[in-house]
Amino acid sequence: MIEAIGISKRFGSVQALDSLSMTVNPGDIYGFIGPNGAGKTTTFKILATILKPDSGEVRIDGVDIRKGDRIRSMIGYMPDVFGVYEDMTVFQYLDFFGAAYFIAREDRKRLIADILQLTDLTFKKDEMVRSLSRGMQQRLGVARVLIHDPKVLILDEPASGLDPRARIELRELLKELSGMGKTIIVSSHILAELSEVCTRIGIIEQGKNVFEGSQEELHRRLFSRMNVAVMTVPEDTEKALLALQGAPFVESVSRTAERISVRVKGDEREIHRILRTLYDNGCRVTRFQPEEVSLESAFMTLTKGALA
């Protein structure tokens, strides 16, 4: 649905994007991650036809983004900071944007009612926009980008400033929109939220690709670097430590109370030798699992915190 090939963008002496490529498949919820200054917002503005890349190609549903009018009817863009007209009611705000997209007056009322129900704003339709909480305004921003029924939603930090309940509600809304066939690309600094909702992940730093793929692919890539398993050996902790410290496939062992963490040499297949070693030494293991690779740990492992 979105294909970017080698896009670059420079602002003066700053290389914001450096031959960045990305592929977002139809129906994806694509989490776009990077440190501040990595180039996320610049990428989103290019996808939204607000900026032109210096080089490279971008197509949305097969259409070159240089055909701006056709592209803009296909996308809904919500920037990280978006203005709202505070002296309008919620209904008037959406009606205004519906008119801007040339939606017939007789159709707008029904369409807005459906969108308000989807975004759980029906009970606020006659409230002034200025009276809405931050979370309600974010939902209104999502409602606005849905008004013309776009195929692709480009959401830049939609969870910024939201409380935990509002973030959960937004996450569920994204899942619902994906279920309706929308393709979504979303950035966020709240990585735990993205890990629960995204089908694919893209990580950039200094305007360059660091990783792109599914979370399963990310796990496989990083596990080969981390190769850590954690276990609980409540009755034989000391014996287990001695056995593992002397094993040739073990790189390091650490202990917290009854919990033992072991980093092995080689690939993840070596993890299974831990259990055999403990069994051969008469140690009773009550819990054993490879250490989970979270999106936060992946981000910290793959990026260096450098700016463009």
In three-state secondary structure terms, 192 is: helix
Measured CA to CA, the distance from residue 265 to residue 283 in angstroms comes to 22
Return the CATH number of the domain spanning residue range 2-213: 3.40.50.300
pLDDT, residue 225, reads 53
Residue 291's pLDDT band (boundaries 50, 70, 90)? low
More confident residue, 89 or 294: 89
In the chain, domain spans: 2-213, 225-292
Going from the C-alpha of 132 to that of each of 91, 124, 126, 144, the distances in angstroms are 13, 8, 11, 15
Which distant-in-sequence residues (6+ apart) come within 8 Å of 102 by Cβ?
none
Query: CB of 229 within 8 A of CB of 240?
Result: no
User: Band of the pLDDT at 81, cuts 50, 70, 90?
Assistant: confident
Instruction: Determine the Cα–Cα distance for residues 69 and 237; give it in Å rounded to an integer.
Output: 67
User: Residue 288 — pLDDT band, cuts 50, 70, 90?
Assistant: confident
Residue scoring higher pLDDT (291 or 13): 13
| Burial of 119 per CB tally in 10 Å (0-12, 13-18, 19+) | buried
Tell me which amino acid residue 209 is: N
Q: pTM value?
A: 0.76
Q: What is the pLDDT of residue 266?
A: 66
Q: What are the residues facing 5 on neighbouring strands?
A: 57
pLDDT higher than 90, residue 159? no
> How far is the C-alpha of 179 from the C-alpha of 175, rounded, in Å?
6
Tell me the per-residue pLDDT of 205-235, one tens digit each, with 9 for 90 and over. Answer: 889 988 888 877 877 666 555 577 788 888 8
Q: Is pLDDT of 259 > 80?
A: yes
Would the CA dihedral through 292, 298, 301, 305 be positive or negative? negative
**Looking at the chain, how many residues does it have?**
308
Q: Does the 225-292 domain belong in CATH 3.30.70.100?
A: yes
CA-nearest of 250, 242, 251 to 281 is 242
Q: What is the pLDDT of residues 29-54, one digit of tens each?
A: 999 988 888 899 999 999 999 999 99
- How buried is 182 (Cβ within 10 angstroms: 0-12 exposed, 13-18 middle, 19+ buried)? buried
Residue 145 has pLDDT above 90, yes or no: yes
Residue 207 and residue 19: Cα distance in Å, rounded? 8
CA-to-CA distance for 80 and 141, rounded, in angstroms?
A: 10
* SS3 state at 193: helix
Distance CA(276)–CA(14), nearest Å, equals 54
